Structure 1
Amino acid sequence: MLAAYAAKFDAEDPVSALEVGERPEPTVPDGWVVVDVKASALNHHDLWSLKGVGLAEQSLPMILGCDAAGIDPDGNEVVVHAVIADPAYKGDETLDPKRSLLSERYQGTLAEKVAVPAHNVVPKPAGLSFEQAACLPTAWLTAYRMLFTQSGLKPGDTVLVQGAGGGVATALITLARAAGIRVWATSRDDAKRSRALEIGAHDVFESGARLPSRVDAVMETVGQATWSHSLKSLKQGGTLVISGATSGQAPKSAELNRIFFLQLRVQGSTMGTRQELAELVQFMANAGISPHIDSTLPLADARTGFAKMNDGDVFGKIVFTV
């Protein structure tokens, strides 16, 4: 079957480590099913994998991808949940010490077929295309958990979304607006600021700009480059929710004095549970919203999509069709 996979690692030029070609069809352990993939979406996780982050060399070659929508063996249209927990673990699977994601220990979704535990599929919303539904399991699920599980935000509060443009950031803007939260967003790029307004931000600012007032929570996926601005933007007792660090993980200062003196809360957030994915699907159906797609490419042209993400030239999700 056709797949996009990591055959080696290259920390400096990750796209050069990508291969697109034939791979064996998945094996199916007891309790697992094979989903015929109709669309899959690209994430920064896939670029990190090509750099050798979070993926062991002995696991190569590894089919990349965490996101997919397709058809299960019973003919149902489904969305794949990418968090694979230990079968014996009970509770929030994102907290399972033995958890992994598709494309880490198990072959990923950038292929014609993917094998997953039977309980890792949820019904695809009828109102979403396969391409739109493929955007949900990582970026949109991460945004949903950040906003509604980790932040403590409620309707009427104000949230700052750093780095408008990426998949998680665009999802955060749209979901927060739909939930009655006032949304501010930042970007270095004027065009991305304009797009952020179009998809639901109430106001936009240049990265690092002084805000009109402090906010109840900041959604942080950029990391090093925006860390100080995020902390300085919070009200006393506010919450910074961080789910990524695309600009690096070593800010000049952790600003611990500010954190403890203002009683700020720094909350990590990773992916989401299968239950949260089901809630996200229903929320989007009820609110009449859909994911933002930057571009759609055939899987055979995966290298083009990876290069586009590596260059940072993205607003929304890059989707591959199978």
Structure 2
Amino acid sequence: MFAVYAKEANTDDPLASLVVGERPEPEVPAGWVRVSVKAASLNMHDLWTLRGVGIKQEQFPMILGCDGAGVLDDGTEVVIHSVINDDSWHGDDTLDPKRTLLTEKHQGTFADYVVVPARNVLPKPAGLSFAEASTMGTAWLTAYRMLFVKSGLRPGQTMLVQGASGGVATALVQLGRAAGMRVWVTGRSEDKRALAVELGAHEAFEPGSRLPERVDAVFETVGKATWSHSVKSLKPGGVIVVSGSTSGPDASAELQRVFFLQLRVIGSTMGTRDELANLLSYVELAGIRPRIGDELPFTEAGRGFTNMLKGATAGKIVFAH
């Protein structure tokens, strides 16, 4: 079958390990289902896989892709939940010490077919296209958990999203605006800031700018480059919710400010199957359509990876058959 995969780990030149070609069709274990993939979205996790982060050498070659939407063998249209839990686990999917994401142990969604446990598919909302639905399982689910499960924000409060144009950030802007938050963002370029305002941000600022006032919560996926600004932007008692560090993790902790102002720093990773179900219901009820920055055929996957590596994103990059 057709697939986009990593042939090996390459820390220094990840795109050199990217192959667009053929892989064997997957077998379907008992309790699992086969999905004919119609669309799948690109995530930073796929670049980490190409670099060999979070995957053992013996797992290569590995079909890439955490997210996807497609059709079961019986014709049911579905969205894929990418967190795969140990059979014995009960509780929050994200706290299972034996959990994996697609592309870490099991082959991913950038292919004609992917197989996942039966619990890992949910009905696709009729109002979303396959391309739009394919963005839900990682970036949008991460944003949903950060905002509605971890932050404690209430409608009318002010949130700051660092790094305005990535998949999680654009989802946070759209979700926050729909939920009645005052949404502020930072963005490196005028185009990125304009995109955030188009998606619902009330104001957009250059990175590191002094804000008109301090905010109730900051949503961090950038890390080193924005961390100090995030801490300084918070009201006393405010919260930073962190789900990534794309510019590097070695940020100054600013501990004096953290303890003196009683700030909270909360980690957030992905989300649960139930949270994905709630997210799918919410976007349908609220009439939210996720922003797709670029939709490419799977055969042009290399172009999408190149754009992500350069930071040339304006919403989610989606591959489709």
Query: 1:158-192 CA deviation, whole Å, 9 max, x = no partner?
Result: 00000000000000000000000000000111111
Separation in 2, partners of 1:12, 1:170: 28
Q: Residue 246 of structure 1: SS of its match in structure 2? A: coil
Separation in 1, partners of 2:39, 2:316: 12
Separation in 1, partners of 2:264, 2:40: 34
Q: Residue 258 of structure 1: SS of its match in structure 2? A: helix
Q: Does the alignment pair 1:209 with 2:209?
A: yes
Structure 1 segment 74-153 matched on structure 2, within 5 A: 74-153=74-153
Structure 2 counterpart of 1:59, which letter? Q
Partner of 1:33: 33
Q: Does the alignment pair 1:72 with 2:72?
A: yes
Separation in 1, partners of 2:27, 2:315: 33
C-alpha deviation, 1:73, in angstroms? 2.1
Separation in 2, partners of 1:261, 1:6: 47
C-alpha deviation, 1:196, in angstroms? 0.6
Structure 1: runs of 5+ lacking an equivalent: none
Structure 1 segment 151-162 matched on structure 2, within 5 A: 151-162=151-162
Separation in 2, partners of 1:38, 1:9: 27
Partner of 1:298: 297
Partner of 2:197: 197
Structure 1 segment 3-42 matched on structure 2, within 5 A: 3-42=3-42
Partner of 1:309: 308
C-alpha deviation, 1:27, in angstroms? 1.7
Q: Residue 250 of structure 1: SS of its match in structure 2? A: coil
Partner of 2:257: 258
Q: Percent same amino acid at aligned positions?
A: 62
Count of residues in Structure 1 that have an aligned counterpart in Structure 2: 321
Separation in 2, partners of 1:45, 1:51: 10
Q: Residue 290 of structure 1: SS of its match in structure 2? A: coil
Partner of 2:277: 278
Separation in 2, partners of 1:113, 1:315: 28
Q: TM-score, normalised by structure 2?
A: 0.99
Partner of 1:166: 166
Q: Residue 308 of structure 1: SS of its match in structure 2? A: helix
Q: Residue 58 of structure 1: SS of its match in structure 2? A: helix
Partner of 2:248: 248
Partner of 1:61: 61
Q: Residue 218 of structure 1: SS of its match in structure 2? A: strand
Structure 2 counterpart of 1:114, which letter? V
Query: 1:69-120 CA deviation, whole Å, 9 max, x = no partner?
Result: 0001221100000000011101111000000000001000111100000010
Separation in 2, partners of 1:145, 1:193: 24
Structure 1 counterpart of 2:149, which letter? T
Separation in 1, partners of 2:160, 2:117: 36
Q: Residue 67 of structure 1: SS of its match in structure 2? A: coil
Structure 1 counterpart of 2:37, which letter? V
Partner of 1:269: 268
Structure 2: runs of 5+ lacking an equivalent: none
